[in-house]
Structure 1
Amino acid sequence: MIVKKTLLSLASIFLIYQSYQMATGIDGSLDVPWWLHVLLAVMINLFVTGVFAFAGFAFSTQKLLPEAYYRVRKPRTLKKVYRALSVDKFRKALLATFWRSPQQRGKYFDGTKAGVENLDRQSRKSEFGHLLPLAFITLISIRLIIVGAFAVGIFALLINVVFNLYPIILQRHHRMRIQVYRRRYLDGKTFDL
C-alpha cells in the first residue's frame, strides 16, 4: 500500500511539473498544423487531470472539501442543467465505452444499501478529481488565449468542458438521487424532486 501511494504521488508530482512546463512554454501563435493544436490541448487536459486523478487514487482527496459542498441544494436547477447540456448522452457514452463491463460498474454500485454508500463516496472522489482540473485548465486556457495561442486555448477549454464539467454534473446528479433514496428509505420520509 505504501509503495502504491508513493508511486501514485510521484506520478502526480511528475505531471505537475509537465503541466507547468506545457502551460508556460506555449507563447504566442504556433505555426503548426491544426491537429497539433488539438494534440497540445489534449495533453494539457490529460496532464492536469492526471495530477488530481493520481492524487485521488492515493489519498482521500475528496475530504479536502467540506461535507456541505457535496450536498445538492437545488435539485431542480441541477436537473435543468443536466438536461440542457445533454449530460445523459455523455452518461450513455461512458456506459457504452469505459463502463461497459458489469464488473467495473459493480465496483461503484453493487445494488445493496452498502453499495449506496460506496457510490456516494466514489461520486465525491470522482467529482473532486474533475473539479480542480476544471478550474486549472480554464485558467491555463485563458492564459493561452491571452498570449496568442488562441487555437490551443480554445481547444483546451472545449475538451475541459466535456471531460471535466460533464463528469461533475453527472456525479452531482448521482448524489441528488442518493439523497432522495436516503430520505425515502433510510429516514422513512417520502417526497419527490
Structure 2
Amino acid sequence: MSTYLRVGFVLLFVICTVVVVALWQGLHSFVFAWVLNFMLMLGVLYITKTFKPKLESTYYNAKEWEAEGKIYKWFGVDEFRKVLVWIGWEKLNKASSPVKKNLDALKHLEYSTRQSEFGHLVIFFIVAIFVLSVAFYCGAIQSLWLVLLNIILNVYPIGVQRYNRPRLRKAIHRFEGFHKDRQTNNPKNI
C-alpha cells in the first residue's frame, strides 16, 4: 500500500472520529476537546514520522528572550515537566526511545524536540480554529474546554521542547568539540 494511501486512511480515521464525537457530545464538551486533541496528535504524529520533515527553519533556534529558559520557568514549564514525570509520560518516552550517550542519539533527540514542537504547533492552530468557531457560534464560555486543553496539551509541550532544545544543542556542541579534540590529538592523524 502506498505511503500516501496509508496517510489518507489515518487522516480519514481522525476526521471520522472527531465528527462522530462532535455529533455525540457536542463541540463544547470536555470529551470532544480531549478527543480532538488526541486524534490530531495521532494524525500529525503519523505524518511527521512517515515523511520526516527536516524542520531546519531558524524558528527552532532559541531566541534572545528565551535565554536560559527563564521565561519558560516563569510560566511553569518546570512544574509541567514534573507532572509529565509523575504521570509516567517521561518513562514511556524513554522506553520507546532510550537516551544514549553518543552523538547520533543526541542529534536524534534534538530532532525529536523539533518534530514534537512542529506537531504541537500544527495542532494548536487547528484547535484554535475550533475555539474561534465555537466561541463565535455558541459563545466564549462554550469554548472553555477547547481553550484549556489547547493550553495544557499544546502550549506547554511546545514550551518544554523550546526549554530542552538549547540544552541538547549545547551538549551536542560539547560532544562534537570533544571528538574533534580527540581526533586532532590522535597520533594516527599526524
- Cα distance, 1:152 vs. partner? 4.0
Report whether the alignment pairs 1:98 with 2:89.
yes
Match of 1:79 in 2: 69
CA separation of 1:79/1:136 partners in 2, compared to 1, >3 Å: closer, same or farther?
same
State the alpha-carbon separation in 2 of the partners of residues 86 and 17 from structure 1: 35
1:111 matches 2:101: yes
- 8 Å CA contact 2:103–2:172 kept in 1: the answer is no
User: Is the CA contact (8 Å cut-off) linking 1:40 and 1:152 kept in structure 2?
Assistant: no
Q: Which residue of 2 aligns with 1:46?
A: 38
In the alignment, does 2:151 pair up with 1:161?
yes
Map of 1:88 onto structure 2 = 78
Q: Structure 2: how far apart are the matches of 1:39 and 1:66?
A: 35
Q: What is the CA–CA distance in structure 2 between the aligned matches of 1:149 and 1:18, rounded to whole Å?
A: 24
RMSD of aligned residue pairs (Cα, Å): 3.2
| Deviation for aligned residue 1:85 | 1.8
Question: Do residues 174 (structure 1) and 164 (structure 2) align?
Answer: yes
Partner of 2:10: 11
Q: Is the 8 A contact 2:123 2:154 kept in 1?
A: yes
Pick one of 93, 118, 139 that aligns with 1:128: 118
Is there any run of 5+ residues in structure 2 with no aligned partner, and where? Answer: 179-190
Which structure's CA Rg is the greater one?
2
Contact kept in structure 2, 1:12 and 1:54, CA below 8 Å: no
SS at match of 1:100: helix
TM-score by length of 1: 0.74
- Per-residue deviation, 1:180: 2.1
Percentage identity across paired residues of the two chains: 21
Q: In the alignment, is the contact (CA less than 8 A) between 1:13 and 1:51 conserved in 2?
A: no
SS in 1 for 2:91: coil
Which string of whole-angstrom CA distances, capped at 9 and with x for unpartnered residues, describes residues 38-86 of structure 1? 112212222333321221232214x3x4431221132645713211221
Pairs within 5 Å for 1:56-75: 56-61=48-53, 63=54, 65-74=55-64
Instruction: Say which of 143, 147, 152 aligns to 2:133.
Output: 143
More helix by share: 2
Could you say which residue in structure 2 is the equivalent of 1:33?
A: none
Greater alpha carbon shift after TM alignment, 139-148 vs 50-59? 50-59
Counterpart of 2:187?
none
Which shifted more, 76-85 or 39-48? Answer: 76-85
Instruction: Determine the structure 1 residue equivalent to 2:185.
Output: none
CA deviation string 1:152-183 (max 9, x = no partner): 41111110111111111111112111222234
- SS of 1:170's equivalent in the other structure is helix
Partner Cα separation in structure 1 for residue 60 and residue 98 of structure 2: 17
